[in-house]
Amino acid sequence: NEQMGILNTHRGLDHVRRLQIPCNPALHGNALLTLTKALEKNSNLYFLDIGICNLTDDDCTALACLADTSTSLQFLLLYSNKISSVGLKIMQTTLQRLPCLKYLQLKQNRLDASAGVVIGEIIASSHSLEEVDLARNRLLKNDGCASVLKAAESSTSLKRIVLNKTGVDDGLMPHLTSLVRKRSGEAFSPLLVLIHGTCITRPALLQVASAMPTDSSITIQSGLYMVEKGHVLQRDFDGEISRLAEKSFEEVNLDEHGVEDEHVERIVPLLEGDHCGIKLLKVRSNSLHSRGASLFANFLSTNSTLQAIDLSENAIGSGGFISMVTVLVKSNRSLQWLDLSANSIFGSNDVDSTASSIEKQDNLGLVVSRSCGLKFLGLGRTGMGDEECAVISDALSTNTGSLTVIKLNSNAITDQGATILSRGVARNAKLHSLSLGSNCIGAEGTTAIAQCVESREQCGRPLRCMWMGGNNTDSSQFYGCMLDTKLTFQVGRISSAMKYYL
Protein backbone atom coordinates (compact mmCIF):
# COMPACT_ATOMS: atom_id res chain seq x y z
CA ASN A 1 0.00 0.00 0.00
CA GLU A 2 2.86 2.38 0.84
CA GLN A 3 4.63 1.61 -2.44
CA MET A 4 1.43 2.21 -4.43
CA GLY A 5 0.96 5.50 -2.59
CA ILE A 6 4.43 6.65 -3.64
CA LEU A 7 3.68 5.74 -7.26
CA ASN A 8 0.42 7.65 -7.06
CA THR A 9 2.12 10.77 -5.65
CA HIS A 10 4.60 10.86 -8.53
CA ARG A 11 2.07 9.77 -11.17
CA GLY A 12 4.34 6.78 -11.79
CA LEU A 13 1.65 4.69 -13.48
CA ASP A 14 0.11 7.27 -15.82
CA HIS A 15 1.82 5.89 -18.94
CA VAL A 16 2.31 2.22 -18.05
CA ARG A 17 0.97 -0.11 -20.75
CA ARG A 18 1.71 -3.51 -19.20
CA LEU A 19 1.39 -4.16 -15.45
CA GLN A 20 2.16 -7.56 -13.89
CA ILE A 21 1.98 -7.87 -10.10
CA PRO A 22 1.07 -11.51 -9.38
CA CYS A 23 1.69 -13.40 -6.14
CA ASN A 24 1.03 -10.43 -3.82
CA PRO A 25 -1.28 -11.84 -1.13
CA ALA A 26 -1.48 -8.38 0.46
CA LEU A 27 -2.74 -6.70 -2.71
CA HIS A 28 -6.35 -6.34 -1.64
CA GLY A 29 -8.41 -3.93 0.45
CA ASN A 30 -6.68 -0.55 0.82
CA ALA A 31 -3.69 -1.56 -1.32
CA LEU A 32 -5.97 -2.38 -4.26
CA LEU A 33 -7.86 0.89 -3.80
CA THR A 34 -4.54 2.76 -3.88
CA LEU A 35 -3.55 0.95 -7.07
CA THR A 36 -6.90 1.90 -8.60
CA LYS A 37 -6.30 5.53 -7.74
CA ALA A 38 -2.77 5.37 -9.19
CA LEU A 39 -4.20 4.16 -12.51
CA GLU A 40 -7.22 6.46 -12.73
CA LYS A 41 -5.55 8.75 -15.31
CA ASN A 42 -4.01 5.91 -17.31
CA SER A 43 -5.72 5.36 -20.66
CA ASN A 44 -2.87 3.30 -22.15
CA LEU A 45 -2.96 0.14 -20.00
CA TYR A 46 -3.61 -2.90 -22.20
CA PHE A 47 -2.29 -5.80 -20.02
CA LEU A 48 -3.09 -6.34 -16.33
CA ASP A 49 -2.04 -9.43 -14.33
CA ILE A 50 -3.30 -9.64 -10.73
CA GLY A 51 -3.21 -13.42 -10.29
CA ILE A 52 -2.59 -15.23 -6.98
CA CYS A 53 -3.30 -12.10 -4.94
CA ASN A 54 -5.89 -13.50 -2.51
CA LEU A 55 -8.61 -11.32 -4.08
CA THR A 56 -12.15 -11.93 -2.81
CA ASP A 57 -15.62 -10.68 -3.71
CA ASP A 58 -15.02 -7.69 -1.42
CA ASP A 59 -12.25 -6.52 -3.78
CA CYS A 60 -14.36 -6.69 -6.93
CA THR A 61 -15.76 -3.18 -6.58
CA ALA A 62 -12.20 -1.81 -6.66
CA LEU A 63 -11.37 -4.15 -9.56
CA ALA A 64 -14.38 -2.87 -11.47
CA CYS A 65 -13.27 0.75 -10.91
CA LEU A 66 -9.73 -0.16 -11.98
CA ALA A 67 -10.90 -1.79 -15.21
CA ASP A 68 -13.43 0.97 -15.88
CA THR A 69 -10.69 3.60 -16.22
CA SER A 70 -8.57 1.36 -18.47
CA THR A 71 -10.38 1.81 -21.77
CA SER A 72 -7.51 0.22 -23.72
CA LEU A 73 -7.43 -2.96 -21.63
CA GLN A 74 -7.08 -6.09 -23.79
CA PHE A 75 -5.73 -8.71 -21.38
CA LEU A 76 -7.15 -9.16 -17.85
CA LEU A 77 -5.68 -11.99 -15.73
CA LEU A 78 -7.36 -12.73 -12.37
CA TYR A 79 -6.33 -16.39 -11.98
CA SER A 80 -5.95 -18.26 -8.67
CA ASN A 81 -7.93 -15.89 -6.48
CA LYS A 82 -11.10 -16.33 -4.40
CA ILE A 83 -13.65 -14.64 -6.64
CA SER A 84 -17.13 -16.19 -6.74
CA SER A 85 -20.24 -15.41 -8.78
CA VAL A 86 -21.03 -12.58 -6.36
CA GLY A 87 -17.81 -10.74 -7.17
CA LEU A 88 -18.09 -11.49 -10.87
CA LYS A 89 -21.57 -9.96 -10.90
CA ILE A 90 -20.11 -6.77 -9.40
CA MET A 91 -17.60 -6.56 -12.27
CA GLN A 92 -20.03 -7.60 -15.00
CA THR A 93 -21.13 -4.17 -16.23
CA THR A 94 -17.54 -2.93 -16.42
CA LEU A 95 -16.33 -6.03 -18.29
CA GLN A 96 -19.18 -5.69 -20.77
CA ARG A 97 -18.25 -2.06 -21.46
CA LEU A 98 -14.55 -2.65 -22.16
CA PRO A 99 -14.29 -2.01 -25.92
CA CYS A 100 -10.96 -3.78 -26.53
CA LEU A 101 -11.02 -6.76 -24.11
CA LYS A 102 -9.62 -9.83 -25.88
CA TYR A 103 -8.48 -12.20 -23.13
CA LEU A 104 -10.21 -12.87 -19.79
CA GLN A 105 -8.57 -15.37 -17.43
CA LEU A 106 -10.51 -16.45 -14.34
CA LYS A 107 -8.82 -19.82 -13.91
CA GLN A 108 -8.90 -21.42 -10.45
CA ASN A 109 -11.30 -19.16 -8.60
CA ARG A 110 -14.58 -20.11 -6.88
CA LEU A 111 -16.96 -19.75 -9.80
CA ASP A 112 -20.15 -21.84 -9.81
CA ALA A 113 -23.05 -22.35 -12.22
CA SER A 114 -24.47 -18.85 -11.64
CA ALA A 115 -21.05 -17.43 -12.57
CA GLY A 116 -21.37 -19.26 -15.89
CA VAL A 117 -24.51 -17.22 -16.60
CA VAL A 118 -22.58 -13.98 -15.96
CA ILE A 119 -19.70 -15.09 -18.20
CA GLY A 120 -22.21 -15.95 -20.90
CA GLU A 121 -23.71 -12.45 -20.75
CA ILE A 122 -20.24 -10.91 -20.97
CA ILE A 123 -19.43 -13.01 -24.06
CA ALA A 124 -22.77 -12.19 -25.69
CA SER A 125 -22.30 -8.43 -25.30
CA SER A 126 -18.63 -8.29 -26.37
CA HIS A 127 -17.48 -7.76 -29.96
CA SER A 128 -13.77 -8.11 -29.13
CA LEU A 129 -13.44 -11.04 -26.68
CA GLU A 130 -11.34 -13.84 -28.21
CA GLU A 131 -10.47 -16.12 -25.28
CA VAL A 132 -12.06 -17.02 -21.94
CA ASP A 133 -10.18 -19.29 -19.51
CA LEU A 134 -12.34 -20.82 -16.75
CA ALA A 135 -10.19 -23.88 -16.02
CA ARG A 136 -10.11 -25.40 -12.53
CA ASN A 137 -13.40 -23.89 -11.42
CA ARG A 138 -14.81 -27.25 -10.41
CA LEU A 139 -18.15 -25.82 -9.25
CA LEU A 140 -19.08 -24.62 -12.75
CA LYS A 141 -20.16 -28.13 -13.75
CA ASN A 142 -22.52 -28.76 -16.68
CA ASP A 143 -24.98 -25.92 -15.99
CA GLY A 144 -22.32 -23.21 -15.72
CA CYS A 145 -20.41 -24.36 -18.79
CA ALA A 146 -23.68 -24.71 -20.73
CA SER A 147 -24.33 -20.97 -20.27
CA VAL A 148 -20.87 -20.20 -21.64
CA LEU A 149 -21.35 -22.45 -24.68
CA LYS A 150 -24.80 -20.98 -25.34
CA ALA A 151 -23.30 -17.50 -25.57
CA ALA A 152 -20.52 -18.78 -27.83
CA GLU A 153 -23.13 -19.86 -30.40
CA SER A 154 -23.61 -16.26 -31.53
CA SER A 155 -20.18 -14.73 -30.73
CA THR A 156 -18.30 -13.91 -33.93
CA SER A 157 -15.04 -12.93 -32.18
CA LEU A 158 -14.54 -15.83 -29.73
CA LYS A 159 -11.64 -18.15 -30.71
CA ARG A 160 -10.88 -20.19 -27.59
CA ILE A 161 -12.78 -21.44 -24.53
CA VAL A 162 -10.89 -23.28 -21.77
CA LEU A 163 -13.09 -25.48 -19.54
CA ASN A 164 -10.44 -27.89 -18.24
CA LYS A 165 -11.23 -29.49 -14.88
CA THR A 166 -14.58 -27.75 -14.43
CA GLY A 167 -16.46 -30.82 -13.16
CA VAL A 168 -18.36 -31.49 -16.40
CA ASP A 169 -19.38 -34.90 -17.77
CA ASP A 170 -21.40 -36.36 -20.65
CA GLY A 171 -24.34 -34.20 -19.59
CA LEU A 172 -22.65 -31.27 -21.36
CA MET A 173 -22.94 -32.97 -24.76
CA PRO A 174 -26.37 -31.55 -25.77
CA HIS A 175 -24.94 -28.06 -25.33
CA LEU A 176 -21.80 -28.88 -27.33
CA THR A 177 -24.06 -30.36 -30.00
CA SER A 178 -26.10 -27.14 -30.14
CA LEU A 179 -22.86 -25.14 -30.41
CA VAL A 180 -21.52 -27.06 -33.42
CA ARG A 181 -24.89 -26.88 -35.19
CA LYS A 182 -25.54 -23.18 -34.74
CA ARG A 183 -22.04 -21.71 -34.94
CA SER A 184 -21.28 -22.11 -38.61
CA GLY A 185 -20.63 -19.84 -41.54
CA GLU A 186 -17.97 -17.39 -42.68
CA ALA A 187 -19.03 -14.77 -40.14
CA PHE A 188 -17.60 -16.84 -37.29
CA SER A 189 -13.92 -17.15 -36.41
CA PRO A 190 -12.44 -20.65 -35.84
CA LEU A 191 -13.16 -21.83 -32.28
CA LEU A 192 -11.15 -24.19 -30.06
CA VAL A 193 -12.91 -25.67 -26.99
CA LEU A 194 -10.65 -27.36 -24.42
CA ILE A 195 -12.33 -29.70 -21.91
CA HIS A 196 -9.41 -31.72 -20.50
CA GLY A 197 -9.42 -33.41 -17.11
CA THR A 198 -13.14 -34.21 -17.13
CA CYS A 199 -15.38 -37.31 -17.20
CA ILE A 200 -16.45 -36.95 -20.85
CA THR A 201 -16.45 -40.26 -22.75
CA ARG A 202 -15.77 -41.14 -26.38
CA PRO A 203 -19.37 -42.29 -27.14
CA ALA A 204 -20.62 -38.87 -25.99
CA LEU A 205 -18.12 -37.13 -28.26
CA LEU A 206 -19.32 -39.31 -31.15
CA GLN A 207 -22.80 -37.85 -30.69
CA VAL A 208 -21.38 -34.34 -31.00
CA ALA A 209 -19.37 -35.31 -34.07
CA SER A 210 -22.46 -36.72 -35.80
CA ALA A 211 -24.13 -33.29 -35.51
CA MET A 212 -21.06 -31.35 -36.69
CA PRO A 213 -21.01 -30.08 -40.31
CA THR A 214 -17.99 -31.31 -42.26
CA ASP A 215 -16.96 -27.70 -42.97
CA SER A 216 -17.22 -26.66 -39.32
CA SER A 217 -14.40 -24.47 -37.96
CA ILE A 218 -14.91 -25.70 -34.38
CA THR A 219 -12.39 -28.06 -32.75
CA ILE A 220 -13.09 -29.76 -29.41
CA GLN A 221 -10.28 -31.38 -27.42
CA SER A 222 -11.02 -33.67 -24.48
CA GLY A 223 -8.27 -35.90 -23.10
CA LEU A 224 -7.21 -38.44 -25.70
CA TYR A 225 -9.73 -37.31 -28.29
CA MET A 226 -10.38 -34.46 -30.67
CA VAL A 227 -13.65 -33.68 -32.46
CA GLU A 228 -13.04 -31.99 -35.80
CA LYS A 229 -14.99 -31.74 -39.08
CA GLY A 230 -17.54 -34.37 -38.05
CA HIS A 231 -15.05 -36.95 -36.81
CA VAL A 232 -13.72 -38.11 -33.45
CA LEU A 233 -9.97 -38.52 -33.79
CA GLN A 234 -7.36 -39.76 -31.38
CA ARG A 235 -5.14 -36.78 -30.76
CA ASP A 236 -1.92 -36.87 -32.76
CA PHE A 237 0.56 -36.27 -29.95
CA ASP A 238 3.36 -37.47 -32.22
CA GLY A 239 2.52 -34.70 -34.67
CA GLU A 240 2.06 -32.09 -31.94
CA ILE A 241 5.47 -32.86 -30.42
CA SER A 242 7.13 -32.94 -33.82
CA ARG A 243 5.68 -29.54 -34.73
CA LEU A 244 6.83 -28.11 -31.40
CA ALA A 245 10.30 -29.58 -31.91
CA GLU A 246 10.45 -28.07 -35.40
CA LYS A 247 9.77 -24.63 -33.92
CA SER A 248 12.43 -25.02 -31.25
CA PHE A 249 14.78 -27.94 -30.74
CA GLU A 250 15.47 -26.68 -27.24
CA GLU A 251 11.98 -26.00 -25.83
CA VAL A 252 8.77 -28.07 -25.82
CA ASN A 253 5.72 -26.45 -24.20
CA LEU A 254 2.87 -28.85 -23.33
CA ASP A 255 1.27 -26.68 -20.63
CA GLU A 256 -2.50 -27.29 -20.39
CA HIS A 257 -2.46 -29.75 -23.29
CA GLY A 258 -4.53 -32.44 -21.56
CA VAL A 259 -1.47 -34.69 -21.24
CA GLU A 260 -2.22 -37.93 -19.36
CA ASP A 261 0.00 -40.84 -18.35
CA GLU A 262 -0.65 -42.84 -21.51
CA HIS A 263 0.44 -39.90 -23.66
CA VAL A 264 3.86 -39.82 -22.03
CA GLU A 265 4.66 -43.24 -23.51
CA ARG A 266 4.41 -41.64 -26.97
CA ILE A 267 5.97 -38.31 -26.04
CA VAL A 268 9.23 -39.66 -24.57
CA PRO A 269 10.46 -41.48 -27.73
CA LEU A 270 10.00 -38.25 -29.71
CA LEU A 271 12.08 -36.35 -27.15
CA GLU A 272 14.81 -38.98 -27.37
CA GLY A 273 15.36 -38.47 -31.10
CA ASP A 274 18.78 -37.36 -32.31
CA HIS A 275 17.27 -34.14 -33.73
CA CYS A 276 15.84 -33.02 -30.40
CA GLY A 277 18.47 -31.57 -28.07
CA ILE A 278 15.76 -30.46 -25.67
CA LYS A 279 16.69 -28.12 -22.81
CA LEU A 280 13.29 -27.00 -21.48
CA LEU A 281 10.18 -29.20 -21.04
CA LYS A 282 6.97 -27.62 -19.74
CA VAL A 283 4.10 -29.96 -18.78
CA ARG A 284 2.31 -27.74 -16.26
CA SER A 285 -1.40 -28.05 -15.46
CA ASN A 286 -2.20 -31.42 -17.04
CA SER A 287 -3.51 -34.76 -15.73
CA LEU A 288 -0.27 -36.59 -14.94
CA HIS A 289 -0.14 -39.13 -12.12
CA SER A 290 2.76 -41.12 -10.65
CA ARG A 291 3.10 -43.35 -13.72
CA GLY A 292 3.55 -40.38 -16.07
CA ALA A 293 6.14 -38.82 -13.76
CA SER A 294 7.98 -42.15 -13.58
CA LEU A 295 8.16 -42.30 -17.39
CA PHE A 296 9.66 -38.81 -17.49
CA ALA A 297 12.09 -39.90 -14.76
CA ASN A 298 13.22 -42.85 -16.90
CA PHE A 299 13.80 -40.42 -19.76
CA LEU A 300 15.95 -38.26 -17.47
CA SER A 301 18.08 -41.26 -16.50
CA THR A 302 19.59 -41.39 -20.01
CA ASN A 303 19.13 -37.79 -21.21
CA SER A 304 22.02 -35.33 -20.91
CA THR A 305 20.54 -32.18 -22.52
CA LEU A 306 17.38 -31.38 -20.53
CA GLN A 307 18.05 -28.57 -18.05
CA ALA A 308 14.56 -27.66 -16.83
CA ILE A 309 11.27 -29.51 -16.38
CA ASP A 310 8.01 -28.07 -15.04
CA LEU A 311 5.55 -30.69 -13.75
CA SER A 312 3.58 -28.32 -11.52
CA GLU A 313 -0.23 -28.44 -11.18
CA ASN A 314 -0.57 -32.17 -11.84
CA ALA A 315 -1.28 -35.14 -9.54
CA ILE A 316 2.02 -37.05 -9.49
CA GLY A 317 1.80 -37.80 -5.74
CA SER A 318 4.59 -39.26 -3.65
CA GLY A 319 5.21 -42.05 -6.17
CA GLY A 320 6.10 -39.61 -8.93
CA PHE A 321 8.14 -37.50 -6.52
CA ILE A 322 10.24 -40.48 -5.40
CA SER A 323 10.83 -41.56 -9.02
CA MET A 324 12.19 -38.13 -9.92
CA VAL A 325 14.39 -37.96 -6.81
CA THR A 326 15.87 -41.41 -7.45
CA VAL A 327 17.00 -40.42 -10.94
CA LEU A 328 18.42 -37.07 -9.82
CA VAL A 329 20.45 -38.67 -7.06
CA LYS A 330 21.69 -41.71 -8.98
CA SER A 331 22.20 -40.82 -12.63
CA ASN A 332 21.11 -37.41 -13.96
CA ARG A 333 23.62 -34.56 -13.81
CA SER A 334 22.18 -32.10 -16.35
CA LEU A 335 18.85 -31.03 -14.80
CA GLN A 336 19.06 -27.63 -13.12
CA TRP A 337 15.39 -26.73 -12.65
CA LEU A 338 12.62 -28.97 -11.24
CA ASP A 339 9.19 -27.55 -10.37
CA LEU A 340 6.75 -29.96 -8.69
CA SER A 341 4.54 -27.27 -7.15
CA ALA A 342 0.79 -27.85 -6.75
CA ASN A 343 1.14 -31.63 -6.60
CA SER A 344 -0.26 -33.27 -3.46
CA ILE A 345 2.85 -35.10 -2.23
CA PHE A 346 3.17 -34.71 1.53
CA GLY A 347 0.80 -35.03 4.47
CA SER A 348 -2.77 -36.28 4.31
CA ASN A 349 -3.31 -34.75 0.84
CA ASP A 350 -0.99 -37.24 -0.89
CA VAL A 351 -2.86 -38.56 -3.95
CA ASP A 352 -0.59 -41.62 -4.00
CA SER A 353 -0.68 -43.35 -0.62
CA THR A 354 1.83 -46.09 -1.48
CA ALA A 355 4.76 -44.33 0.22
CA SER A 356 5.08 -43.83 3.97
CA SER A 357 5.82 -40.45 5.56
CA ILE A 358 9.33 -41.63 6.44
CA GLU A 359 10.02 -42.69 2.85
CA LYS A 360 8.83 -39.34 1.48
CA GLN A 361 10.93 -37.42 4.00
CA ASP A 362 14.00 -39.55 3.25
CA ASN A 363 13.69 -38.71 -0.45
CA LEU A 364 13.15 -35.05 0.34
CA GLY A 365 16.42 -35.04 2.25
CA LEU A 366 18.18 -36.78 -0.64
CA VAL A 367 17.06 -34.32 -3.33
CA VAL A 368 18.21 -31.36 -1.19
CA SER A 369 21.55 -32.81 -0.09
CA ARG A 370 22.67 -35.16 -2.87
CA SER A 371 21.26 -34.06 -6.23
CA CYS A 372 24.16 -32.95 -8.41
CA GLY A 373 23.56 -29.94 -10.63
CA LEU A 374 20.01 -29.11 -9.49
CA LYS A 375 19.72 -25.35 -8.81
CA PHE A 376 15.98 -24.76 -8.44
CA LEU A 377 13.46 -26.94 -6.55
CA GLY A 378 9.79 -25.94 -6.51
CA LEU A 379 7.67 -27.59 -3.80
CA GLY A 380 4.99 -24.95 -3.25
CA ARG A 381 1.47 -26.22 -2.52
CA THR A 382 2.59 -29.82 -1.95
CA GLY A 383 1.14 -30.30 1.56
CA MET A 384 4.47 -29.74 3.29
CA GLY A 385 4.58 -29.00 7.04
CA ASP A 386 7.02 -28.51 9.91
CA GLU A 387 8.36 -32.08 9.78
CA GLU A 388 9.45 -31.62 6.17
CA CYS A 389 11.10 -28.30 7.12
CA ALA A 390 13.23 -30.16 9.67
CA VAL A 391 14.33 -32.59 6.95
CA ILE A 392 15.24 -29.75 4.57
CA SER A 393 17.11 -27.95 7.34
CA ASP A 394 19.25 -31.01 8.13
CA ALA A 395 19.96 -31.54 4.42
CA LEU A 396 20.98 -27.90 3.91
CA SER A 397 23.29 -28.09 6.91
CA THR A 398 25.40 -30.76 5.20
CA ASN A 399 26.39 -28.27 2.43
CA THR A 400 26.67 -31.17 -0.02
CA GLY A 401 23.85 -30.22 -2.38
CA SER A 402 23.82 -27.75 -5.27
CA LEU A 403 20.48 -25.98 -4.71
CA THR A 404 20.45 -22.18 -4.90
CA VAL A 405 16.67 -21.59 -4.95
CA ILE A 406 13.94 -23.41 -2.97
CA LYS A 407 10.26 -22.57 -3.34
CA LEU A 408 8.09 -23.64 -0.35
CA ASN A 409 5.19 -21.20 -0.61
CA SER A 410 1.52 -22.01 0.10
CA ASN A 411 2.14 -24.94 2.43
CA ALA A 412 1.34 -25.51 6.13
CA ILE A 413 4.62 -24.26 7.63
CA THR A 414 4.28 -22.65 11.08
CA ASP A 415 6.64 -20.79 13.42
CA GLN A 416 8.21 -24.07 14.47
CA GLY A 417 9.04 -25.11 10.91
CA ALA A 418 10.34 -21.68 9.95
CA THR A 419 12.59 -21.54 13.03
CA ILE A 420 14.07 -24.98 12.33
CA LEU A 421 14.50 -24.18 8.63
CA SER A 422 16.32 -20.93 9.43
CA ARG A 423 19.12 -22.88 11.12
CA GLY A 424 19.85 -24.94 8.02
CA VAL A 425 19.66 -21.87 5.76
CA ALA A 426 22.13 -20.05 8.05
CA ARG A 427 24.66 -22.89 7.75
CA ASN A 428 24.29 -23.42 4.00
CA ALA A 429 26.80 -21.72 1.68
CA LYS A 430 25.03 -22.09 -1.68
CA LEU A 431 21.34 -21.23 -1.20
CA HIS A 432 20.63 -17.63 -2.22
CA SER A 433 16.82 -17.49 -2.64
CA LEU A 434 13.96 -18.88 -0.54
CA SER A 435 10.20 -18.56 -0.93
CA LEU A 436 8.09 -19.03 2.22
CA GLY A 437 5.10 -16.90 1.25
CA SER A 438 1.48 -17.78 2.07
CA ASN A 439 2.23 -20.20 4.91
CA CYS A 440 1.22 -19.99 8.59
CA ILE A 441 4.33 -18.25 9.89
CA GLY A 442 3.85 -15.74 12.71
CA ALA A 443 6.07 -13.34 14.63
CA GLU A 444 8.37 -16.00 16.10
CA GLY A 445 9.15 -17.65 12.77
CA THR A 446 9.53 -14.30 11.04
CA THR A 447 12.06 -13.17 13.62
CA ALA A 448 14.04 -16.42 13.21
CA ILE A 449 14.17 -15.97 9.42
CA ALA A 450 15.21 -12.33 9.81
CA GLN A 451 18.04 -13.32 12.17
CA CYS A 452 19.12 -15.99 9.69
CA VAL A 453 19.32 -13.39 6.89
CA GLU A 454 21.40 -11.10 9.10
CA SER A 455 23.71 -13.98 10.04
CA ARG A 456 24.32 -14.82 6.39
CA GLU A 457 25.04 -11.16 5.65
CA GLN A 458 27.58 -10.91 8.42
CA CYS A 459 29.36 -14.08 7.28
CA GLY A 460 29.74 -12.80 3.73
CA ARG A 461 27.15 -15.22 2.31
CA PRO A 462 24.15 -12.91 1.81
CA LEU A 463 20.79 -14.13 0.55
CA ARG A 464 19.64 -12.41 -2.62
CA CYS A 465 15.91 -13.04 -2.41
CA MET A 466 13.41 -13.87 0.34
CA TRP A 467 9.64 -14.02 -0.11
CA MET A 468 7.61 -13.87 3.13
CA GLY A 469 4.35 -12.27 1.95
CA GLY A 470 0.97 -13.71 2.93
CA ASN A 471 1.92 -15.08 6.37
CA ASN A 472 0.40 -14.43 9.80
CA THR A 473 2.55 -11.45 10.67
CA ASP A 474 3.08 -7.81 9.79
CA SER A 475 5.64 -7.73 6.98
CA SER A 476 7.10 -4.49 8.37
CA GLN A 477 8.46 -6.53 11.29
CA PHE A 478 10.56 -8.55 8.85
CA TYR A 479 11.54 -5.61 6.64
CA GLY A 480 12.53 -3.54 9.67
CA CYS A 481 15.15 -6.12 10.64
CA MET A 482 16.59 -6.10 7.13
CA LEU A 483 17.29 -2.43 6.44
CA ASP A 484 21.08 -2.87 6.57
CA THR A 485 21.24 -5.93 4.29
CA LYS A 486 21.40 -6.23 0.51
CA LEU A 487 18.44 -8.64 0.37
CA THR A 488 15.89 -8.23 -2.39
CA PHE A 489 12.29 -8.67 -1.24
CA GLN A 490 10.79 -10.80 -3.97
CA VAL A 491 7.05 -10.39 -4.55
CA GLY A 492 6.79 -11.85 -8.04
CA ARG A 493 6.87 -15.51 -8.97
CA ILE A 494 10.38 -16.92 -8.64
CA SER A 495 9.53 -19.48 -11.34
CA SER A 496 9.34 -16.67 -13.90
CA ALA A 497 13.14 -16.65 -13.84
CA MET A 498 13.37 -20.15 -15.33
CA LYS A 499 15.33 -19.11 -18.41
CA TYR A 500 17.90 -17.35 -16.26
CA TYR A 501 19.13 -20.78 -15.20
CA LEU A 502 19.46 -21.96 -18.78
Rounded to an integer, what distance in angstroms lies between the CA atom of residue 84 and that of residue 29? 17
480: helix, strand or coil: helix
pLDDT at 23 over 80: no
Looking at the predicted structure, is the pLDDT value of residue 247 above 60?
no
Q: Identify the band that residue 299 occupies on the pLDDT scale cut at 50, 70 and 90.
A: very high
93-121 burial, b if ≥16 CB within 10 A, otherwise e?
A: ebbbebeebbbbbbbbbbbbbbbbbbbbb
Q: Judge whether 257 and 288 are in contact, CB under 8 Å.
A: no
Ranked by mean pLDDT, which of 107-121, 173-187, 447-461, 476-490 comes out on top? 107-121
What is the pLDDT at residue 491?
Answer: 34
Residue predicted with more confidence, 215 or 423? 423
Q: What is the pLDDT of residues 409-464, one digit of tens each?
A: 989 999 999 999 999 999 999 999 999 988 999 889 988 998 998 899 888 888 88
Q: Starting from the edge strand earliest in sequence, which strands make up the sheet with 337-339, in order?
A: 251-253, 280-282, 308-310, 337-339, 376-378, 405-407, 433-435, 465-467, 488-489
- Residues 250/280, Cβ–Cβ less than 8 Å: yes
Query: In Å, how far from its chain's centre is CA 170?
Result: 27
Is the pLDDT assigned to residue 160 strictly greater than 70?
yes
Counted residue by residue, the chain has a size of 502
What Rg, from alpha-carbon coordinates, does the chain have?
24
What is the structure's pLDDT at 47?
Answer: 93
